[in-house]
């Protein structure tokens, strides 16, 4: 599916908004381009810094030091005619906000029309109409005429269209604000309920006092091997306190979603077909409404409707929202299941879950018999888990049919996906397009390419804050460090804002944040304050953050790439795809019209790849293959992937698993060893699961769990640039001449000894939040160890045992000192260097194992431990004999 729309203008020349702005800030800050070019552009001049009166000079100097010379003009693109999608079978959404030039009075924004694949729709459909119903009628007539002419497409019965909410809500600020307020109330409720519930998403106060609490006694394992909440903790009261007015408001919000009028058609198609591909604009209501429609119509036949999400924060917040809309308690009929948190019960029929969780469930039940409908949402993301799930669900559907079991319905949904590819894969499943979105999103591009997107993003935040109407801001960044530094910069600068300027409330959002901290972004902020969220791509799909009106898209993302030849698994910052850009823009315009500021030019956008490369073709597959074997798929090399990974990646993964004693070959088929079966229960890379199993033999599971938990979260130490020397000096007390893993353990022990004191963390330059997250992960891993019979023993001061365990799991990541002082990996003889942040940077031991490689100017090893080469030989004798490993004297 190709989205290739025109882009709306920022201000109409005659618009009151512009006039008002001009009056307010003067022409020096707003320039109008020559009418012949595009008369409606807001320019931010090259030397705009001096116009930013809200940025005090000190902070401004700091920004300027980042040496940005370009200007930051955002130009709207001239309105073009609607383009039809290239592919013969695709269509665009002619009336979606992205393509609208002007706000049309009394016109609908393309609501509630569902088309089947192959539709062609002409520009004429954009004609204005005086009323919504007339517009719909016109569309219907036109389409029916076209349908007769081309005999190629079908307009589904739109009789329900008449039920469209008659009140065409105007988008005046007052209404928007009212909506923000109501959504904020909802968010506040979620917060309050999470707090009452004592769940992992508890709010700060509760989490902050944590050190390593004993696991709750009545935690039990569900069939995924994950911890399930005790039943008395599962209920959250949502219906009790909800007033009638709120209920009515929620219902009217649902009714005004573009998907609502086509409820009957959707349900009818779901009854008719085994698999469906549904594509609809962001925010049209797919994720929240489709499961409710299917449930009300009984399509699930008393089974469960499972909806997969690529990210946990989406699964949690959408389940919250749907339970609220249905007026029921979360965990009852509607629930969610994400890693380390299960909020479902026997009664749950609509279950939002991460794709990883459903994958784990398929280990114990490959036919997924509990489910009668599975909705694969945000299918365009193509994570490792989604791609594996596609194959598993497809095979479950076929097998259930063969065995004459209850049929499994599959619905694949997204706003931005390659529909033909998906349709083909799911046995030519019919594709349905849902037209329209509720609110428009204006697209803005920079006039010139930007050298420094971080700087541009910061400036854009303040630009919006100073000149644009109320509404919160969501900024897409690449990773934790970048986000934290941007959060800091904005906080520092905003604290110096002039007296009459509204305050800014700034939040970070990234995967390594504890759940409670992630959910804070959904909370309301103080009245009169503007919320700014700096997020990684975890906020890119599915979620609705109340109040977001402005999205700033830096155009960059951090992604993992794997090279089987070199054995390198690298994290790199790279450009996003067009599909990602549209998803990001779609985080605005959900409760009110919005604006998306793309920090790249229109030309740069055009040059982006259409879709991201599926992870399956660019990641280490050891975990995936382990999961497939655990599910019982023997011929993993010929698994029915939508896009096949290269044979080298698959055989390299199998070799790794064989060396870790997780798999063995029997009659030319791969199968799991008994240890491999247990390793598959751990939500960890197989090499780390192997380390845990070794710790049982060497009696150091306590220490190993600590280290693995700390490696599972983002960096726990930080070195602020201003206090570099002090921080390095303070960190010395944790250092160990055995390596970084032991240093991590020392930090954790000290953190525990001060009972997680926040001030201690600040004084010692360690991240309090990340340590809390590690505490949580450790707790869950300890539960799993108990489950598989690994006692939690400590080796006390005998840390050599810890390093030996690490050698047994990480031997593929071993490096050897060379005569000239550099290192070579033992696996592929790749040239590598010890990262300057390592405790071993100066020592240069003969043999080390490392946790990860980072490619910048050099290829750096991070998180190292000294190992004895004999341990490596013991861990994988035949492998190291091949590699000619000799002991250095
Ligand atoms: N947590 C929430 N708080 C407030 N409103 C919400 C929330 N979740 C959903 N909504 C409302 O429901 C609308 C539809 O959301 P939904 O997630 O169903 O859309 P979608 O079509 O799945 O979008 P996307 O493709 O971006 O995932 C949103 O635009 C918003 O108005």
Strands 275-280 and 409-414: parallel
Q: Which atom of ligand 1 is nearest to the CA of 254?
A: 12
Q: Which atom of ligand 1 is nearest to the CA of 183?
A: 4
Q: Which atom of ligand 1 is nearest to the CA of 280?
A: 21
Residue nearest to atom 26 of ligand 1 (CA): 282
Ligand 1 centroid vs 588 CA: distance in angstroms?
10
Ligand 1 centroid vs 810 CA: distance in angstroms?
43
- Would you say residue 839 has pLDDT above 60? yes
Instruction: Give me the mean pLDDT over the 165-185 stretch.
Output: 32
Residue nearest to atom 8 of ligand 1 (CA): 544
Residue linked to tokens 């945000």? 378
ipTM exceeding 0.95, yes/no: yes
Residue nearest to atom 10 of ligand 1 (CA): 544
Lowest mean pLDDT among 161-175, 281-295, 597-611, 829-843: 161-175
Q: Which of 590, 591, 594 to mutate to test the pocket of ligand 1 (most atoms within 8 A of CB)?
A: 590
Give the residue with greater pLDDT, 587 vs 34.
587
Is residue 692 within 8 A of residue 785, CB to CB? The reply is yes
Instruction: Give me the mean pLDDT over the 268-281 stretch.
Output: 93
Task: Report the percentage of the chain scoring pLDDT > 70.
Answer: 70
Question: Quick one: pLDDT band at residue 134, thresholds 50, 70, 90?
Answer: very low
Structure confidence by residue, pLDDT tens digits, 823-834: 999 888 889 999
Q: Angle between the 312-326 and 244-255 helix axes, to the nearest 10 degrees?
A: 120
Structure confidence by residue, pLDDT tens digits, 538-596: 999 889 999 999 999 999 998 877 655 555 566 678 899 999 999 999 999 999 999 99
- Would you say residue 312 has pLDDT above 70? yes
Residue nearest to atom 27 of ligand 1 (CA): 542
What is the residue-wise DSSP string for 620-675? --HHHHHHHHHHT---GGG---SSPPPHHHHHHHHHHHHHTTSEEEETTEEEE-HH
- Would you say residue 183 has pLDDT above 70? no
C-alpha to C-alpha distance for 852 and 803, rounded to whole angstroms? 16
Residue nearest to atom 29 of ligand 1 (CA): 590
Question: Quick one: pLDDT band at residue 113, thresholds 50, 70, 90?
Answer: low
pLDDT of residue 576: 95
Encoded tokens for 654: 């199998």
Q: Which atom of ligand 1 is nearest to the CA of 439?
A: 29
Chain centre distance of CA 801? 37
Q: What is the mean pLDDT of the chain?
A: 74
- Closest by Cα among 511, 225, 219, 220 to 360: 225
Residue nearest to atom 6 of ligand 1 (CA): 544
Task: Report the percentage of the chain scoring pLDDT > 90.
Answer: 45
Is residue 622 within 8 A of residue 672, CB to CB? The reply is no
C-alpha to C-alpha distance for 251 and 348, rounded to whole angstroms? 22
pLDDT of residue 100: 25
Q: Which atom of ligand 1 is nearest to the CA of 288?
A: 18
pLDDT of residue 424: 93
Q: Which atom of ligand 1 is nearest to the CA of 190?
A: 1
Q: Which of 187, 352, 375, 544 to mutate to test the pocket of ligand 1 (most atoms within 8 A of CB)?
A: 544
- Would you say residue 172 has pLDDT above 80? no
Question: Quick one: pLDDT band at residue 84, thresholds 50, 70, 90?
Answer: very low
Lowest mean pLDDT among 215-224, 403-412, 511-520, 738-747: 215-224
Structure confidence by residue, pLDDT tens digits, 668-696: 788 999 999 999 989 888 999 999 999 99
pLDDT of residue 159: 22
Question: Quick one: pLDDT band at residue 202, thresholds 50, 70, 90?
Answer: very low
Is residue 396 within 8 A of residue 408, CB to CB? The reply is yes
pLDDT of residue 61: 44
Pocket of ligand 1 (CB under 6 A): 183, 186, 257, 280, 282-289, 317, 321, 415, 541-542, 544, 546, 586, 590-591
Residue nearest to atom 14 of ligand 1 (CA): 285
Ligand 1 centroid vs 543 CA: distance in angstroms?
7
Q: Which of 3, 112, 283, 324 to mutate to test the pocket of ligand 1 (most atoms within 8 A of CB)?
A: 283
Residue linked to tokens 């996906």? 417
Ligand 1 centroid vs 251 CA: distance in angstroms?
14
- Would you say residue 32 has pLDDT above 60? no
pLDDT of residue 568: 53
Ligand 1 centroid vs 327 CA: distance in angstroms?
17
Name every residue whose Cβ is closer than 8 Å to that of residue 436 and which is 6 or more positions away in sequence. Answer: 93, 95, 96, 108, 109, 110, 111, 112, 113, 258, 281, 284
Q: From residue 33, give the alpha-carbon distance in Å to each of 40, 75, 76, 214, 353.
A: 7, 10, 11, 65, 49
Residue linked to tokens 């089974």? 303
Residue nearest to atom 25 of ligand 1 (CA): 282
Q: Which atom of ligand 1 is nearest to the CA of 583?
A: 26
């Amino acid at each position: 599916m190709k989205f290739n729309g025109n882009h709306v203008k920022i201000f109409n020349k005659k618009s009151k908004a512009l006039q008002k702005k001009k009056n307010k800030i003067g022409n020096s800050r707003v320039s109008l381009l020559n009418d012949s070019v595009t008369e409606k552009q807001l320019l931010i001049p090259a030397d705009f810094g001096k116009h930013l009166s809200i940025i005090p000079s000190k902070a401004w100097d700091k920004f300027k030091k980042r040496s940005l010379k370009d200007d930051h003009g955002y130009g709207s693109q001239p309105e073009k005619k609607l383009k039809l999608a290239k592919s013969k079978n695709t269509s665009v959404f002619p009336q979606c906000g992205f393509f609208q030039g002007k706000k049309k009075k009394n016109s609908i924004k393309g609501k509630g029309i569902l088309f089947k694949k192959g539709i062609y729709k002409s520009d004429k459909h954009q004609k204005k109409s005086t009323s919504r119903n007339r517009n719909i009628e016109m569309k219907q007539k036109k389409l029916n005429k076209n349908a007769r002419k081309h005999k190629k497409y079908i307009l589904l019965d739109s009789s329900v269209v008449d039920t469209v909410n008659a009140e065409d809500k105007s988008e005046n600020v007052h209404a928007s604000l009212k909506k923000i307020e109501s959504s904020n109330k909802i968010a506040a409720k979620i917060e309050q309920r999470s707090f009452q519930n004592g769940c992992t998403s508890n709010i700060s106060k509760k989490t902050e006092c944590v050190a390593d609490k004993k696991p709750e006694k009545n935690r039990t394992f569900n069939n995924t091997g994950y911890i399930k909440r005790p039943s008395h903790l599962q209920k959250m009261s949502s219906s009790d306190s909800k007033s009638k007015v709120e209920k009515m408001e929620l219902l009217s919000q649902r009714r005004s979603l573009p998907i609502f009028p086509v409820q009957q058609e959707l349900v009818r198609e779901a009854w008719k077909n085994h698999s469906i591909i549904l594509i609809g604009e962001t925010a049209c209501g797919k994720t929240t409404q489709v499961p409710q429609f299917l449930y009300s119509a009984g399509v699930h036949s008393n089974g469960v409707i499972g909806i997969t999400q690529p990210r946990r924060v989406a699964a949690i917040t959408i389940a919250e929202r749907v339970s609220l809309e249905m007026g029921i308690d979360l965990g009852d009929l509607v629930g969610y299941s994400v890693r380390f948190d299960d909020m479902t019960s026997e009664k749950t029929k609509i279950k939002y879950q991460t794709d990883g969780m459903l994958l784990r469930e398929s280990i114990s039940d490959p036919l997924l018999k509990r489910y009668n409908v599975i909705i694969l949402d945000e299918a365009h993301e193509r994570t490792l888990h989604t791609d594996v799930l596609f194959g598993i669900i497809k095979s479950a559907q076929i097998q259930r049919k063969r065995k004459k079991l209850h049929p499994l319905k599959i619905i694949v949904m997204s706003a931005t996906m390659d529909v033909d590819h998906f349709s083909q894969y799911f046995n030519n499943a019919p594709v349905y397009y849902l037209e329209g979105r509720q609110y428009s999103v204006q697209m803005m591009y920079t006039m010139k390419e930007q050298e420094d997107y971080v700087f541009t993003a910061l400036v854009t935040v303040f630009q919006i804050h100073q000149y644009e109407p109320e509404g919160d801001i969501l900024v897409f960044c690449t990773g934790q460090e970048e986000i934290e530094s941007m959060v800091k910069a904005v906080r520092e600068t905003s604290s110096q804002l002039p007296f009459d300027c509204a305050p800014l409330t700034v939040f970070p959002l990234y995967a390594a944040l504890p759940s409670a901290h992630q959910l804070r972004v959904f909370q309301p902020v103080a009245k009169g304050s503007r919320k700014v969220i700096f997020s990684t791509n975890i906020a890119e799909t599915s979620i609705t953050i109340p109040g977001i009106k402005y999205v700033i898209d830096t155009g960059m993302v951090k992604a993992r790439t794997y090279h089987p030849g070199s054995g390198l698994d690298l994290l790199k910052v790279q450009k996003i795809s067009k599909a990602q850009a549209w998803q990001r823009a779609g985080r605005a315009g959900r409760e009110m019209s919005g604006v998306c500021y793309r920090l790249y030019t229109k030309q740069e956008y055009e040059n982006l790849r259409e879709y991201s490369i599926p992870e399956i073709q660019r990641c280490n597959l050891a975990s995936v293959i382990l999961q497939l074997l655990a599910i019982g798929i023997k011929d993993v090399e010929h698994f029915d992937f939508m896009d096949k990974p290269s044979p080298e990646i698959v055989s390299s993964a199998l070799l790794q698993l064989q060396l870790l004693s997780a798999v063995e070959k029997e009659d030319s088929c791969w199968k799991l060893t008994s240890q491999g079966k247990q390793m598959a229960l751990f939500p960890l890379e197989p090499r780390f699961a192997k380390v845990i199993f070794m710790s049982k033999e060497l009696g150091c599971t306590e220490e190993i769990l600590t280290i693995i938990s700390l490696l599972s979260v983002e960096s726990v130490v930080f070195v602020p640039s201003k206090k570099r020397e002090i921080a390095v000096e303070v960190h010395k007390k944790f250092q160990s001449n055995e390596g970084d893993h032991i240093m991590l353990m020392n930090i954790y022990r000290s953190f525990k000894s001060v009972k997680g004191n926040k001030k201690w963390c600040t004084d010692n330059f360690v991240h309090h939040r990340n340590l809390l997250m590690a505490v949580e992960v450790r707790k869950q891993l300890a539960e799993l160890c108990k489950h598989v019979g690994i006692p939690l023993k400590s080796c006390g001061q005998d840390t050599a045992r810890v390093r030996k365990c690490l050698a047994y799991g990480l031997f593929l990541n071993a490096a050897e000192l060379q005569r000239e002082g550099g290192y070579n990996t033992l696996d592929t003889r790749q040239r590598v260097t010890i990262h300057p942040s390592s405790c071993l940077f100066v020592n240069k031991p003969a043999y080390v194992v490392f946790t990860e490689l980072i490619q910048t100017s050099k290829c750096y090893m991070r998180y190292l431990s000294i190992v004895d080469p004999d341990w490596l030989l013991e861990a994988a004798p035949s492998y190291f004999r091949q590699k000619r490993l000799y002991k250095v004297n």
